[in-house]
Structure 1
Amino acid sequence: MAAEQFNLMKCNPTKKHALNSRRKCQMFTFLCVLLLALLNMWLNGFSFESNHCTQVTILMWYQPYGKPNNLRGDESWVRNCTPCCKIVEQRSLFPMADVVVFHNFELVRGQEKLPLDLPRPPSQRWAWMSLESPVHNGDLKRFAGIFNLTLSYRRDADISIPYGERLAKEADRDDPVQGVAHNKSFLACWVVSNYRSSFKRSQVYKELSAIVPVKVYGRWTKTPLSSEALLPTISRCYFYLAFENSESKDYITEKLWKNAYQSGAVPVVLGAPVKDYEAVAPPQSFIHVDEFASVKELAEYLQQVAGDRKRYSEYFHWKRKWKVKVNNNWGERVCKLCSQFSNLPPNKVYTDLAAWDHVIDAM
C-alpha cells in the first residue's frame, strides 16, 4: 500500500506539469488573438462601430451668437453624433478639418472674420450657417465663391436645420383632442418685442385688433413673459398670432413650433407662403392670413370658430397622428452635417450666395 501511494505521488507532478503546459499554450493563443484584434483596431481608428469608416472632422470656427459654452452644453449630441465624425473648436486643427462652419450673424456684424489669410486645404469645405431671414443676413455679395455648403432653415439648403418639424407618432390611447377649448380666456394673443409700424405683421395686427380683442405681451407693451410663463399664458388663448418678421421662403420659426403648438393655441400664421407651411406643418393645424381676402374676413372667421367647439377642436385632430419637435440644440444641428457628410456634393461652390439667399418680400 505504501508503495502504491509513493508511485501515485510520483505520477501527480507529471500530470500537473502537462496541465500547466496546456494552460500556458491556451493563454499564449489568447494573447496572440487579442494582439491581432488590437492591431486591427489601431489600423482602423479604434472604433468597433466605424465599419472601417474614415474619420470626418467638423471645425466650429466660433460659437453662434458668441456664447462660449453653447456647443459644450450640447456635449451629448456631439458625443453621440456618429462614430466617424468629431466636432471640434480648436482653431489649431484648421489644417486637418474636413469642414469649417461659420455662423453668418457674427460675420455680417464684424464680430468674426473668415481666415482668408490661412492656406486652405484643397479638399476642405466651408459651410455658411444662418437661421435668420434674408433681410437680416446682411450683404452676402462679399462671400461670392467662398462657401461650399449651406446650413439653413431652408428646405433646399445642403443641410436643412429647421426651427421645428412634424413627426409621426403612434396613436394615443387617450384622445388628445378632448378638452382643447377648456380654460380659454382670450380670443387671440400675440407676443412681440420688435414692433415696427412698417412691418406687414404690425399692419395686420392693427386692423385685426380694431375688430376683435387681441391680448399683447412682450417688451413692446412692457409686459414681458418669462420662459416659465410663456406657454401657460398663451394656452389661455384660442388663437396665437404666429407672425414672422419677414415673408421669406421656408422661414417658419419657434413662433409656430413652440409658442403655438406647445401651448395648445391654434396658430394664425403670417410669413412664408401657404404652400411652405403645408409642406412642413401638421395637416389642418393652422390658419394662414393669406387665405382670406381681408383682415375683416379673418376676424369674423376666428370669432365663428371660437364659438363652435366642434369646429375649433378640428384644428387639433392632427395630434392623433403627429407630434412636433422644436429644434433649438446647436449640437444637434451640426450633427446633421456629420450624418449627411458622405452625401454632400464634393465640388460645389456658391458663386452667388446672395442670389441663393434672396428676399421674397420684406415685412
Structure 2
Amino acid sequence: MSAPWITAVKTVIVMFLLECLILSVYHLQPLGYFNQGVQINNNTEESCLHVLKMQNYMCTVNITTEKFLMTTSVPKPLTSTEIEEPDTIVLIWMWPFGSSFGLGPCSSASNIHGCRLTDDRGLFNEAHGVMFHHRDISWDLSNMPKLPRPAFQKWIWWNMESPTHSGQNPLLKELFNLTSSYRRDSDIPVPYGWLSDATEVEKNYTIPKKEKLVCWVVSNYSPNHKRSQYFNELVKHINVDAHGRHFGSSINHNEYLNLVSSCKFYLSFENSVHRDYMTEKLFNPLALGTVPVVLGPTRENYEQFIPSESFIHVDDFPTPKELADHLKLMDQNEDLYRQYFTWREHFVSKGALFGLDHACRICEHIRKNKHYRVVKDLNSWYWG
C-alpha cells in the first residue's frame, strides 16, 4: 500500500494534468491549483511541462480541439440549416374585389423566402398575419373574423385605391396592426410601379416607332374629374387619339400595348389627386417607350419616384394651350424628344403584380419585424 503522502501527490498531479489538457484546448489562463513558487503564464504547454519536470513526470498536450470534442459529451453547435425558422403564414381573408390572384410561391415571384400564403380560414389561429382588403370589408364588419385575434398575429389593412375612392369607416379606427398601400409612409409600401437597374441588354434601348402624337385610354370618365376638364381644354389645341367606352372605342390588352407604344406622348391622368398616388397610368407608358404627360400630385412628388427628365407635368405650363404648343415642338425636334429617354440608359420600369406582390412583401415584413405594432387612427392617417 502506498504511503498517504504518495497518494496525495499522485492525486494532485492527475488534477493538474487534467487542467493542462483543458487549457491547451481552450487557451485559457490556469486557475492556479499549485502554490509551490511556480509561476504559471499564458503559455499553458510550457507551464505544464515545467511543473511536471519538477515532479519527474512526462506530459503531452498536443490534443486537438476536434479530438477533444470527440472524447467528450459536449454537443456540437447546430448549423443554420438545422435551426431553420418555420414558414411565416399569411392568410388572405378576402380576395380583392372577389378575384383570386393565386397563391404562387414568393420565392419565384418576389425572391422572398420562408413564406406561406393561404386563403384557408381554418388556419386563422396559426397565421402570423391576416390581410383585409379595404374595399371588401363590410360596413358593419360582419365579414371579419369572429374568433379572438391571437396575441402574436398581425392584422393588415390593405388598399390601393386613393382616399377619394375609398369609403371611410369609423369602425376601422383601431382595428389593425399594419398598413399596406401605395403610400410611401405605409408600414409595407407597395407602389404601382418603380424603376430598377437596367441590364446590359436593356441599356441599349431603342425607342419604338411612333405613328401618333398624343394618346389617352380612359375607362372611368366623369365630367367632374379634374383630368376630364383638362382634357376638354387640351383637345381644343391639339389632336388626342382617345379610347375607352366614353369615346365609343374600347380596346383589349394587346391593342392597348400597341397603341401606347406607337404614341409619342400619353396622357397619364390620374382619376384623383393625392400624395404618392401614381398608378399604372404612369408606369405602363414608361415601360412601353412613351413619354407620360402627368396630371396628379406635384412634380416634386413624382420626382421622388422617377427622374425629372422622364415625364412632362401639366403644372409645368400655365395653360393647356401652352402644353399643346410644347408637345408640337417636341414632335418637330427629334433631338429634344430623345432627351426624355436618357433615363433608359440606367433604369427600366417595373409594375407590381397586384395582390401577390402585396402578400409577399407583407409576409417578408412580418417575418423580419416581430415586435408589437398598432395603427391607432387609420382614418386620420389615410383620409386626414
TM-score, length basis structure 2: 0.74
Indicate conservation of the 8 Å contact 1:77/1:332, yes or no. Answer: no
- State the match for 2:153 in structure 1: 124
Give CA deviations for 1:85-129 in whole Å, capped at 9, x if unaligned: 3112111111111111101121157897222x3111122110000
- State the match for 1:105 in structure 2: 135
Change beyond 3 A, Cα 1:274–1:204: same
Counterpart of 1:161 (choices 175, 190, 211) is 190
> In the TM superposition, what are the counterparts of 1:205-284 in structure 2 within 5 Å?
205-258=231-284, 260-284=285-309
Counterpart of 2:314 (choices 285, 289, 294) is 289
Which amino acid in 2 is paired with 1:88? T
Displacement, 1:76? 6.2
Task: Give the unaligned 5+ runs of structure 2.
Answer: 1-75
Distance 2:98 2:162 in 1: 19
1:299 correspondence with 2:355: no
Distance 1:210 1:82 in 2: 50
Change beyond 3 A, Cα 1:239–1:206: same
Distance 1:174 1:126 in 2: 42
Counterpart of 2:358 (choices 303, 315, 333) is 333
- State the match for 1:95 in structure 2: 125
Indicate conservation of the 8 Å contact 2:227/2:270, yes or no. Answer: yes
- State the match for 1:84 in structure 2: 114
Indicate conservation of the 8 Å contact 2:264/2:291, yes or no. Answer: yes
Aligned CA RMSD, in angstroms, stands at 2.6
Query: Per the alignment, in what secondary structure is the counterpart of residue 288 of structure 2?
Result: coil
Counterpart of 2:349 (choices 324, 327, 332) is 324
Displacement, 1:348? 2.2
> Percent same amino acid at aligned positions?
34
Q: Which moved more, 1:184-193 or 1:151-160?
A: 184-193
Change beyond 3 A, Cα 1:239–1:82: closer
TM-score, length basis structure 1: 0.78
Task: Give the unaligned 5+ runs of structure 1.
Answer: 1-39
Distance 2:236 2:108 in 1: 49
Indicate conservation of the 8 Å contact 1:171/1:320, yes or no. Answer: no
**Structure whose CA Rg is larger:** 2
Which amino acid in 1 is paired with 2:231? Y
Change beyond 3 A, Cα 1:167–1:173: closer
Indicate conservation of the 8 Å contact 1:78/1:86, yes or no. Answer: no
Displacement, 1:333? 2.2
Change beyond 3 A, Cα 1:188–1:83: closer
Query: Per the alignment, in what secondary structure is the counterpart of residue 279 of structure 1?
Result: coil
